[in-house]
Amino acid sequence: MGQRDYFEKKPTLGHTSNALVTLFAANAFLFVTLNFLKIVNLLDGLGDAAEPLFQQKVLYWFTLSPQINQLASKPWSLLTYMFSNYSIVGFISNMIWLWAFGYVLQDLVGNKKLIPIYLYGGFFGGILFVLTASFVPSLQYNINGAYLFEGSSAAVVAVAVATTALSPHYRIYQHIGSGFSLWILGLIFVAIDISFIATTNMAVAISHLIAAFIGYFYVVQLRKGKDIGSWMYGLVYWIDDLYNPEKKLQRTKQVDRIFYKTNAPIFNKTPNVTEKRVDEILDKISKQGYDRLTKEEKEFLERASKESN
């Protein structure tokens, strides 16, 4: 993993760039919207037909259906389904787990890994759900003609597995005794998730399995120095630059001022000693988090980062 990831401080909860808050807000917005529309539908006085009609006319367009041809008619559902928590129990459960693992993930590798892992897990989990259900017709539960796959559970599975795989011995809840290792929380999550998918069908189970694999694969690539989600932020920055060219100009001037026009002496290092020290500090970050570093350790990493760039 690149050293610079560890220097990115986790933004405060109220900061607009906080990825965890962004995901939580997106899920909350669709949850409130869908349930508001359901209430409006119920107020129309349709009685027992209100719920099926709501699923067919509203929920259907936000969620995944088990046939490929239906996905072709609403391709955006591959994105919207992973934010469309319809039941209050599912919404609260998914958000608690997202917050628990997402918070730790930000502490370990900064703010820019959470959304890509979430989207990758949800996307490939959704694709495998549709493919499995399409080619195994017995798995297609019929709810007025269409089984609707909704919720952020697959995406959250990817985040949970990625975080646990990244640093299984990371200590959490250290204010309670000496705390306990992250892998224990991961094990509890897996047990609860298995009990959930046991009540659904194989298509949902496979979607969660592939999401877990995606989360693990993302971490494997990070350890190799490859961030397979960086293109997402690159695309966002590119679009933002199109509409706000002055921001791009400001960033360019800042880079010139810091890296090209400085008169400060170059930081020289003794390779073996410095690399060993960097590895020791990064290992401490992976186990305890960036905030646990001393002032001297943070300054050392900052100098090493500037020298490596």
pLDDT-derived band at 269, boundaries 50, 70, 90: very low
Q: Has residue 233 been placed in a domain?
A: no
pLDDT digits (tens, 9 = 90+) for 27-77: 999 999 998 988 887 776 666 667 778 888 888 899 888 888 888 889 999
Same domain, 223 and 253: no
Q: Which residue, of 228, 252, 274, is where some domain finishes? A: 228
122 within 8 A of 215, measured Cβ to Cβ? no
Cα 34 from Cα 57, distance rounded (Å): 12
Q: Across the chain, how many H-helices and E-strands are there?
A: 14, 2
- The domain that contains 143 carries what CATH number? 1.20.1540.10
Same domain, 116 and 51: yes
Same domain, 210 and 301: no
pLDDT digits (tens, 9 = 90+) for 203-253: 888 899 999 999 999 999 998 888 898 888 888 777 777 777 666 555 554
Same domain, 41 and 152: yes
The DSSP secondary structure of 44-85, one letter per residue, reads: TT-GGGHHHHHHHHTGGGTSB-SSHHHHHH-TTHHHHGGG--
Domain count, the chain: 2
pLDDT-derived band at 116, boundaries 50, 70, 90: very high
* Domain span at 121: 4-228
30 within 8 A of 84, measured Cβ to Cβ? yes
Q: Which residue, of 228, 254, 289, is where some domain finishes? A: 228
- Structure tokens given for 265: 């002496």
Q: Has residue 54 been placed in a domain?
A: yes
Same domain, 80 and 27: yes
Same domain, 89 and 221: yes
Same domain, 130 and 258: no
Q: Which residue, of 160, 195, 228, is where some domain finishes? A: 228
Same domain, 172 and 48: yes
Same domain, 182 and 74: yes
Same domain, 90 and 205: yes
Q: Side chain identity at 214, as an amino acid letter? A: I
pLDDT digits (tens, 9 = 90+) for 151-176: 899 999 999 999 999 989 888 776 66
